[in-house]
Amino acid sequence: MKKFFLFFFVLGSLSVAAQTASDTKMNTFISTLMKKMTLDEKIGQLNLVTPGGAVTGSVVSKDVESKIENGQVGGLFGITGPEKIRQAQELAVKNSRLNIPLFFGLDVIHGHKTVMPIPLGLSCSWDLELIEKSARIAAEEATADGLNWAFSPMVDIARDPRWGRIAEGSGEDPYLGSQIAKAMVRGYQGTDISKDNTLIACVKHYALYGAAEGGRDYNTVDMSKVRMYNEYLPPYKAAIEAGVGSIMSSFNVIDGIPASGNKWLLTELLRNQWGFKGLVVSDYTSINEMMNHGLGDLQAVSALSLNAGMDMDMVGEGFLTTLKKSLQQGKVTLQQIETACRRILEAKYRLGLFEDPYRYCNEERAKSVIMSDANRKAAREVAAKSFVLLKNNNQTLPLKKSGTIAVVGPLADSRRNMLGTWSVSGDFDKAVTVLEGIKSAAGPDTKILFAKGANLTNDANLAKHTNVFGMEAPMDGRSPEDMIKEAVDAAAQSDVVVAVVGEAADMTGEASSMANIDLQESQKELLKALVKTGKPIVMVLYNGRPMTLKWESDNMAAILDVWFGGTEGGNAVGDVLFGKYSPSGKLTTSFPYSVGQIPVYHSMLNTGRPYNHEEFAKFKSNYLDIPNEPLYPFGFGLSYTSYSYSDVTLSGTSLKMGQSITASVKVTNTGARDGVETVQLYIRDVVGSISRPMKELKGFKKVALKAGESQTVTFTISSNDLKFYNNALKFVNEPGDYKIFIGGNSVDVKEASFVLGK
C-alpha cells in the first residue's frame, strides 16, 4: 500500500518538476524575445482587431494588414478558414520584424459550424458529460477552421428574462452554472492546450453582466458584495479553477467603476485572491466605452484599464494609440505594459504557435472534421436532451405515427431561425426545419399538413429591429386573417395540431432586450383560433429566454420548450415528438408568471413577512393580483413517464466540521415508458449570521430508469458544501440546523433535517 502511494507521490512530483521545467523554458524564450521588442511592438501585442465579419459594435479595425506587418497587432478575430487564417498568419510570421504569430479568436458560443443548442437550452440538459462533449466538438471544428481562441463560455448568472443575453448563459443558479462552466472549459481546452484540436477558452463577461438593471443590455449593475460572492462570482471562479486560459471583462459598472477599468475586479480579486495566471481581454470597445461612462478621454480610460490589470484591448485601439504617451507622462509604467505583453506571449507559447504558427491551418482536417456526420448526429442528440416538456395533458405526446397532423406556426418552416442567437459560423441553410424533422420522423402512414398561420410579429417596428442580421421575422403578403384561416382549415382536417411558435433567433442575444416577454400578439391570435377548433394543440416553443406563458399553459394540450436546437434542432424535435426520446430537460431559469414578478428565482431569501401561497393575507410579502411563485419553477420538466420519490434517508442526524453525511431517496419510474430523471438536492441553512436562501442547489444526479424500475440515489454532503460568504466576505461554515430537500424540481421535494456541529 505504501509503495502504491510512493509511486503516485513520485509521479506527482515528476509532473510538477516537468511543469516547472517547461515554464522555465517558456520564460526564457519569452524574456529573450521581449529583449528584442521595441516599446511599440510590446504595445502592439496588446491590440486585438477584427477585419469585419461578426461585428457587435460600430467600430471595425482599419488597415489591418499593414498593422500586422508593423507589429501592431497581437491577435485577430472574426475571420475563419484555414486558408484565410494562413494568409493572415503569414503577414505576421513572414513580414513583421520579429515574426511573432497571431492569435485567431472567434465567438464559438454553441458549436462552431455544427451548431448546438443555445447555451440556455444546453444547460437544461443538466448533463455535464454531454455539455463537455458539445464544447469538445465545437473545439474540434473551430481548430480545424484555423481558430485557437474561443470567446466562450459565457457564465453570467441571469435572473431577468428581459435581458436578451440570458440565452447565452446557463441560467439563474451559481452551483449549476459553476459545474457547466468547468465542463465547457474542459471541452474546449482538453488536457493539452498545445494540441491541434484544443483551443483557449475565454470565460466571460467578468463580472456580473447578467444583473443589468431593467434587463437593458450594457446597463448599470449594483449589488451587495455578499450577493456577488455567494451568487454571481462562483461560475467565473469555477472556470478559473478548471484552468481557463483567458477572461473577458464585462461592459457594466461594478461599485460605480466599469469592469474594464476596475482594479479591485481585475487585480485584487482575480489575480491576488483567485490566483488567475492567464490573460484578460476587454470586451468589444469596452475600454473606449468608459468615456461614455464618464471616466475621461481615451488616453485616461486606456491608462485606467491597464492600471486595473487589463492585458488586451478588443478593437478599441486605445492601448495602441495612447499607452506610449501615458508612459512618457508617468501615467502607466513600463512594467505594466510588459506584464500584459508577457501574458499574451505566454498564451501563444502554450498554444504552440511559436513552434508552428500554422498548427490550425490544416485544410484536410477541416474537410473531414467540420460538419461531419458524427458531429451532426451528436448535435441531434444534444438538442433532444435540451428540450423541456412543460405540459402534457392526457398524454397528448408522444404523437402517433398515423392519422393527420397539422403543423402550423411561423417557426415551423423557418430555416433562418433554427440556429438561434450567436451562431456566427453557423450556416442556417444547412439547418433542419421542424417541418422536415416531423415529416421524416412521422413515417409514411402519417399525413402532414402545413400552414404558416401567422407572422412572427405584426409589429413592423419590432420586425425591423429583429431583422438587423437578416429576414428572421418576414411580413407575409397575406392578411393575418387569411393566414389564420389557412391554419384553422388545416387543423380542422387533422387529429392533432403542432404549433411551432415563439421568438425569432435574434429576439434574444446581445442588444436584444424585450420589455414584453409574452408570445407576440400575431401568434397568440393564431393559437386562440386554433383552440376554437377543439383539436389538441401541441405547442413547440422556440425561445431564447423564459417567457410569460400563463394563457398558453391554461389552453394548450402540451408545451415542449425546444429553445433553439441548432443545426439538427428540427430532427431532434421530430425525435422527441414521436417518442424516440422521452424529454428529460429541466429548467435552469424560473419562468415568471408575469413580467412584473421579475426577478423571480428559486434561491430567494425569506422576508420578515413571508408570503403564504394558500391564502392571501394583508401585510405579507405578496402581490394583490398574482401569486409569488413563478409559473414554471427552476428545475422543472416533465417526461413521457412519471417518477415517485421516497422519503429522504440520512446517514445520521448530525455532522461535524470536516465530515460528511449522506442523503438517499428511492426514485421509481411509475409510468409505462423508460426515462431519465434529474434528481436535485437543495439545502437550507436555517439560522445564519446573515439571511440565507430558502433553497440552494447543492447537487444533482441523472438516473436512467426503465419503466417500473427503482433506484436509490445517494448524495454525499460534506461540511465544505455548506460554506458560504458571510458579511465579512469570509468563506465559512456556521454550525446549526440545516434542511435538505430532494426532488425532481425545486418545488416538489422531500425534506429532512440535520445539524452541523462544531
Instruction: Find the helix or strand (DSSP H, E) in which 540 lies.
Output: strand 537-542
Nearer to ligand BGC, 77 or 741 (CB): 77
Nearer to ligand BGC, 204 or 545 (CB): 204
Nearer to ligand BGC, 49 or 68 (CB): 49
Tell me the three-class secondary structure of 668-725, residue by residue: EECCCCCEEEEEEEEEEECCCCCCCECCEEEEEEEEEECCCCEEEEEEEEEHHHHCEE
Q: Are residues 563 and 118 in contact, defined by beta-carbon separation less than 8 angstroms? A: yes
**Interior angle at CA 625, CA 620 and CA 628, nearest 5:** 55
- Cβ 511 to ligand BGC shortest distance, Å: 8
CA 430, distance to chain mean position in Å, is 23
Closest CA relative to residue 633, chosen from 514, 474, 741: 741
**Residue 56 engages ligand BGC in binding (rule: CB under 6 A):** yes
Q: Cell numbers of 156, please?
A: 453570467
**Residue 284 engages ligand BGC in binding (rule: CB under 6 A):** yes
Torsion sign, CA atoms 341, 342, 343, 346:
positive
- Can the peptide bond before residue 153 be classed as cis, meaning omega within 30 degrees of 0? yes
Task: Tell which positions 113-132 bind ligand BGC, by CB under 6 A.
Answer: none
Nearer to ligand BGC, 173 or 510 (CB): 510
Distance separating the N- and C-terminal Cα atoms of the chain: 33
- Cβ 526 to ligand BGC shortest distance, Å: 34
Strand partners, 21: none
Q: Are residues 635 and 680 in contact, defined by beta-carbon separation less than 8 angstroms? A: yes
- Cβ 743 to ligand BGC shortest distance, Å: 35
**Interior angle at CA 41, CA 38 and CA 42, nearest 5:** 90
> Is 107 a known active-site residue?
no
Nearer to ligand BGC, 422 or 725 (CB): 422
Q: Are residues 741 and 749 in contact, defined by beta-carbon separation less than 8 angstroms? A: yes
- Cβ 142 to ligand BGC shortest distance, Å: 14
- Cβ 49 to ligand BGC shortest distance, Å: 12
Q: Are residues 637 and 388 in contact, defined by beta-carbon separation less than 8 angstroms? A: yes
- Cβ 78 to ligand BGC shortest distance, Å: 7
CA 592, distance to chain mean position in Å, is 20
Interface residue with ligand BGC among 141, 145, 472, 510 (CB under 6 A) is: 510
- Cβ 56 to ligand BGC shortest distance, Å: 3
Interface residue with ligand BGC among 41, 107, 127, 141 (CB under 6 A) is: 107
Distance from C-alpha of 385 to C-alpha of 367, rounded to nearest angstrom: 28
User: Any residues with CB less than 8 A from the CB of 603 and at least 6 apart, and which?
Assistant: 172, 173, 231, 693, 694, 695, 696, 697
- Cβ 204 to ligand BGC shortest distance, Å: 6
- Cβ 157 to ligand BGC shortest distance, Å: 16
Nearer to ligand BGC, 107 or 561 (CB): 107
- Can the peptide bond before residue 398 be classed as cis, meaning omega within 30 degrees of 0? yes
Task: Tell which positions 16-55 bind ligand BGC, by CB under 6 A.
Answer: 54
Q: Cell numbers of 751, please?
A: 425534506
Nearer to ligand BGC, 217 or 472 (CB): 217
The residue at minimum Cβ distance from ligand BGC is 56
- Cβ 210 to ligand BGC shortest distance, Å: 12
Nearer to ligand BGC, 56 or 372 (CB): 56
Q: Cell numbers of 509, please?
A: 442575444
Distance from C-alpha of 600 to C-alpha of 34, rounded to nearest angstrom: 52
- Cβ 107 to ligand BGC shortest distance, Å: 5
| Count, residues near ligand BGC per rule CB under 6 A | 8
Nearer to ligand BGC, 510 or 561 (CB): 510
Interface residue with ligand BGC among 113, 136, 186, 204 (CB under 6 A) is: 204
Q: Which residues of 661-696 are buried (b: 16+ CB within 10 A; e: fewer)?
A: bebbbebbbebebbbbbbbbbbbbbeeeeeebbbbb
Nearer to ligand BGC, 235 or 453 (CB): 235
Closest CA relative to residue 448, chosen from 396, 414, 400: 400
Nearer to ligand BGC, 258 or 635 (CB): 258
Nearer to ligand BGC, 54 or 462 (CB): 54
Active-site annotation holder among 283, 413, 561, 685: 283
Nearer to ligand BGC, 107 or 568 (CB): 107
**Residue 140 engages ligand BGC in binding (rule: CB under 6 A):** no
DSSP-assigned letter for residue 394: G
- Can the peptide bond before residue 465 be classed as cis, meaning omega within 30 degrees of 0? no
Q: Cell numbers of 544, please?
A: 431564447
**Residue 149 engages ligand BGC in binding (rule: CB under 6 A):** no
Distance from C-alpha of 212 to C-alpha of 209, rounded to nearest angstrom: 6
- Cβ 181 to ligand BGC shortest distance, Å: 15
Q: Are residues 733 and 722 in contact, defined by beta-carbon separation less than 8 angstroms? A: yes
Place of cell 449522506: 662
State the virtual CA torsion across 701, 702, 704, 708 in degrees, nearest 10: 60
- Cβ 77 to ligand BGC shortest distance, Å: 7
DSSP-assigned letter for residue 399: P
Place of cell 477552421: 145
Distance from C-alpha of 31 to C-alpha of 26, rounded to nearest angstrom: 9
DSSP string, 319-368: HHHHHHHHHHTTSS-HHHHHHHHHHHHHHHHHHTTTT-TTTT--HHHHHH
Q: Are residues 274 and 218 in contact, defined by beta-carbon separation less than 8 angstroms? A: no
**Residue 151 engages ligand BGC in binding (rule: CB under 6 A):** yes
Active-site residue set: 283
Residues that bind ligand BGC (CB under 6 A): 54, 56, 107, 151, 204, 283-284, 510
